[in-house]
Amino acid sequence: MAGRRANNEGSIYKRRDGRWAASISLDHGKRKYLYGKTRQEVGRKLTVVLKARQDGLPVVGERQTVGQYLEGWLESARPSLRPRTWLRYEQYLRLHAIPEIGRLSLAKLGPQHLQRLYASRLEAGLSPTSVAHLHAVLHRALGQAARWGLVARNVASLVTHPRIKRQEMATLSPEQARAFVETAQGDRLGALYVLALSTGMRQGEILALRWRDMDLEAGTVQVRATLQRTGDGFSFAEPKTARSRRQVALTGTAIAALRRHRRAQAEERLQLGAVWEDNDLVFANEVG
């Protein structure tokens, strides 16, 4: 007969039906039971439970599903993620992972389940790049589960996922660029397109620009923020990296376009009067 541990360390024993089992005392006098085909399998499960209890973490039952864990992980990760990043994680998990593997037991999730998930997403028309991003999110989530001691290992590390193909960026020829600038001059936001073309600034950086960031006399603009889409609208955020906070030189064409844009915006403000909401945005909507 198998030896038994102290009561608070759990005990492993063989049942009459041939399966191995373990039991451990939890808080409030409750007991948790673990089952497996071999002593080693049960021993691994018991180690995970003991580690979780020692670290003050919730003990994951075999009935807790992958979906329940992922939903909880999303909420725990929210404070450390940028709003746009969190929204992207939430969409990948809610639309692609949870519907297919959400009902599986977290304790029984294996690499084969993730491999089938990726294959089914590709077959459904999701791009290899998107599947690779889905894998990255699951790898991060399940890695946290492993670090918390909720699972024995990060099964996403054992899965082959599609590689992201780096695509060569298409660029405009000088003739195409000149034609673009000429066409953009007739648009209300023409200066935005000229600025994007001449500086290479990101969309969110351009949309977050305020007039106080501009020095048209010196021909420079300070990048201090970015505009991000969130679950309930838009919000301003710090640039993605420290290097993203920078001074950008403006071309003569961009300076001229921005001056025309500022004059046109002043006319819009004058016409709207009190209706205009002054946020100092360079590229505001029709009411500020």
- Which CATH fold topology does 66-158 show? DNA polymerase; domain 1 (1.10.150)
- C-alpha 272: how far from chain center: 39
Question: What pLDDT is attached to residue 2?
Answer: 45
Question: What pLDDT is attached to residue 243?
Answer: 82
Mean pLDDT of all residues belonging to the chain: 84
Query: Which residue is listed with tokens 């589960």?
Result: 145
Q: Kindly write down the DSSP assignment for every residue of 174-211, as one continuous string.
A: HHHHHHHHHHHTTSTTHHHHHHHHHH---HHHHHT-BG
Sheet holding 20-25, edge to edge: 11-14, 20-25, 31-36
Q: Mind listing the pLDDT tens digit for each residue in 189-220? A: 889 999 998 898 988 899 999 999 999 999 99
Question: What pLDDT is attached to residue 4?
Answer: 46
Positive or negative, the CA dihedral 79, 163, 101, 123 is positive
Beta-carbon contacts of 51 under 8 Å, excluding residues fewer than 6 positions away, are: 149
Residue type, 288: G
Question: What pLDDT is attached to residue 217?
Answer: 93
Residue type, 193: Y
Q: Is the pTM of this model over 0.75?
A: no
Instruction: Please say whether the beta carbons of 208 and 225 come within 8 A.
Output: yes
Number of Cβ within 10 Å of residue 135's Cβ equals 21
CATH number for 174-275 (one of 3.40.50.2300, 1.10.443.10, 3.90.550.10, 1.20.58.190): it is 1.10.443.10
Which residues of the chain fall short of a pLDDT of 70? 1-10, 26-30, 52-53, 55-63, 231-232, 288
Please classify residue 112 by burial: count the beta carbons closer than 10 Å to its beta carbon, then call 0-12 exposed, 13-18 middle and 19+ buried: exposed
Q: What is the 8-class DSSP label of residue 150?
A: S
Best CA proximity match to 228, nearest among 237, 219, 217, 240: 237
Q: Mind listing the pLDDT tens digit for each residue in 239-267? A: 777 788 899 999 998 999 999 999 989 98
Residue type, 13: Y
